[in-house]
Amino acid sequence: MIPIILCGGAGSRLWPVSRESHPKPFIRLSDGQSLLQKAFLRAVALPGVSEVLTVTNRDLFFKAEDEFREVNSDNVATSFICEPFGRNTAAAIAAAALHVAEKHGPDVVMLVLAADHLISDQAAFSAAVERATALAREGKIVTFGIQPETPETGYGYIEADGNSVVRFVEKPPLEKAREYIASERFLWNSGIFCFTAAAMLREMRQHCSDIVDTTDACMKASRISEGNGWTQVQLEPKTFGAVPDTSIDYAVMEKCDKAAVVPCSIGWSDIGSWAALSDLCKPDSNGNRVEGEAMLHDVDNCYLMSRDRIIGAVGVRDLIVIDTPDALLVVSRDRAQDVRHIYSKLKARGHEAHKLHRTVHRPWGTYTILEEGTRFKIKRIEVKPGASLSLQMHHHRSEHWIVVSGMAKVVNGDKTLFVSTNESTYIPAGHKHRLENPGVVGLVMIEVQSGEYLGEDDIVRFEDVYGRA
């Protein structure tokens, strides 16, 4: 079996923690693990798994790789298909099926998992996967149907007769959802799938040949790197842009006469809002859930999260308060689904808060904006051991670098120098420069930028080991 983790999306309903460059799969729960890490561990705990294939945006590749490295104690092979931009789940699954059929053979069973779902009952999940695998080997396209607990309007539904799919239903209004629950014939559509590569490609060629054909052309034009058991496919942007943007439900599942369903109760949640995420936190005697530090007086049924500052609340009910270093969200608990409108408005206005946190992850490490004002910006930069930034130049700003810990190897114009702790160097505007950590411990430094323009797009890359030049 090859598990396929689909890692994409904006997670707009979980803003301000989820952002375009730090989407929902990378949100860390109270135990310190991200949703993506939990998906990976869930996959490798299944029998017969020696490789996990992740389909993700190429800008998230290094971040996902770091996440896996933290928890991959058994050194399971981690392969990636990197998309230049999103094209929905049908394109992602088509690319994965074509790759698996080519590399491992058409009869290999594929298990498609979302990177941002939570499953709390691993034993029940393993049993459901075993049942799904048996159906997949019969040529079925299997989906996992969750036994519904409440009349949810945020999920799609599957009408089932045993393992047979009667029909798929879009997200219903509340009254219709209540009817579905009462009939005991409907399941929540989990977005988890199981099939052989050959079966999925067969159904795609029958029902959405344009998707599989354009994806196949893209795969043939793409750059592929291989190592000891792993593969990285960098999808070619021009040909990938020709792939239709369609969900796998619409492209295949709703049209397929080979569809099957495995009803299951596995402790599943798609963590689709702050209300759902708050339910993971144990409430106090007044129904309040707190992550971080808060002082409450006459407060009931609220969820408050802040990892950097203390929150004070007085006389409020049914609120969700999410505090981050650069953004604060206050929302009525029963309107948690509507947070996506805030995200959409920020994006429409070009506000950076839809895309970036103050701490930004890069392939080489992170930077955190400490302060900025007219003609200056101060950053804390951390570079991983052995990592280096690109050889680059800025037209409009100069930079002062002060090493706080570790040692920096610096290219500054024609010179190469080593800068130790408590030492500094100055990079004038227009100078080619590169920062590298030659040591075995993290390099931490403070960067002070000054100039007429300090935007992140004032950069010319000449050489880059991450392919961004």
231 vs 212, residue with greater confidence: 212
The pLDDT of residue 30: 87
The pLDDT of residue 469: 65
pLDDT > 70 fraction of the chain, expressed in percent and rounded: 100
Q: Confidence class of residue 443 from pLDDT cuts 50, 70 and 90? A: very high
> From residue 292, how far is each of 118, 184, 303, 309, 323 by CA, in Å?
22, 41, 11, 8, 10
Q: Confidence class of residue 349 from pLDDT cuts 50, 70 and 90? A: very high
The pLDDT of residue 468: 66
What are the sequence ranges of the domains in the chain? 2-269, 274-345, 359-463
The pLDDT of residue 153: 84
d(CA 238, CA 186): 41
d(CA 231, CA 217): 18
d(CA 151, CA 147): 11
d(CA 398, CA 454): 9
Multiple choice CATH, 2-269, 3.30.1490.20, 3.90.550.10, 3.40.50.300, 1.10.287.610? 3.90.550.10
Mean pLDDT of 1-30: 93
Q: Is the pLDDT of residue 102 over 70?
A: yes
Token readout for 192 is: 């988890």
d(CA 449, CA 375): 8
**pLDDT tens for each residue of 170-200:** 888 999 999 999 999 999 999 999 999 999 9
Mean pLDDT of 117-129: 96
**pLDDT tens for each residue of 19-73:** 999 999 999 998 999 999 999 999 999 999 989 999 999 989 999 999 999 999 9
Mean pLDDT of 419-444: 96
Mean pLDDT of 299-320: 96
Q: Please, what is the average pLDDT of the chain?
A: 94
**pLDDT tens for each residue of 361-385:** 898 999 999 999 999 999 999 999 9
pLDDT > 90 fraction of the chain, expressed in percent and rounded: 90
Token readout for 426 is: 């100055």
The pLDDT of residue 319: 98
Confirm whether 2-269 and 359-463 share one CATH topology.
no
**pLDDT tens for each residue of 250-292:** 999 999 999 999 999 999 999 989 999 999 999 999 999 999 9
Mean pLDDT of 116-144: 97
Q: Report the CATH superfamily, name and number, of domain 359-463.
A: Jelly Rolls (2.60.120.10)
Length, in residues, of the chain: 469
Q: Is the pLDDT of residue 340 over 80?
A: yes
The pLDDT of residue 464: 82
Q: Confidence class of residue 145 from pLDDT cuts 50, 70 and 90? A: very high
Q: Is the pLDDT of residue 228 over 90?
A: no
**pLDDT tens for each residue of 386-409:** 999 999 999 999 999 999 999 999
What is the identity of the amino acid at 320? I
**Cα R_g (the chain), whole angstroms:** 24
Mean pLDDT of 84-100: 96
